[in-house]
Amino acid sequence: MINICDIEIVGEKVEQGDIMIDLSREYFHQRTIENSEADKLLRSCSIANLVGERIVRQAINMKLAKKESIKWISGIPFLMIFKFHYI
């Protein structure tokens, strides 16, 4: 499982109605990565939790999910990807 958040929104609290999500540094900022590393991580992971326009767009462009799968909370895109492998 990987968790990737656009750097400029790390540390924010996103609120909409009864929903509040803390994009805490402890959870989302173990280290800063470049797009090429994000690409490798997205290809190799089985579960991805993505927050922010750039990383969500990268996953969509990689065809790992469809735009319809994006959830928007206070104007910020959230995307969870679960990959299933058949034996």
- Using 50, 70 and 90 to split pLDDT, how confident is the model at 22? very high
What digits encode the pLDDT tens for the residues 5-14? 999 999 999 9
Query: What size, in residues, is the chain?
Result: 87
- Rg of the chain, C-alpha, whole Å: 13
61 membership: H or E segment, kind and range: helix 53-61
d(CA 70, CA 86): 25
The structural architecture, per CATH, of the domain 2-82 is 2-Layer Sandwich (3.30)
The ranges assigned to domains in the chain are: 2-82
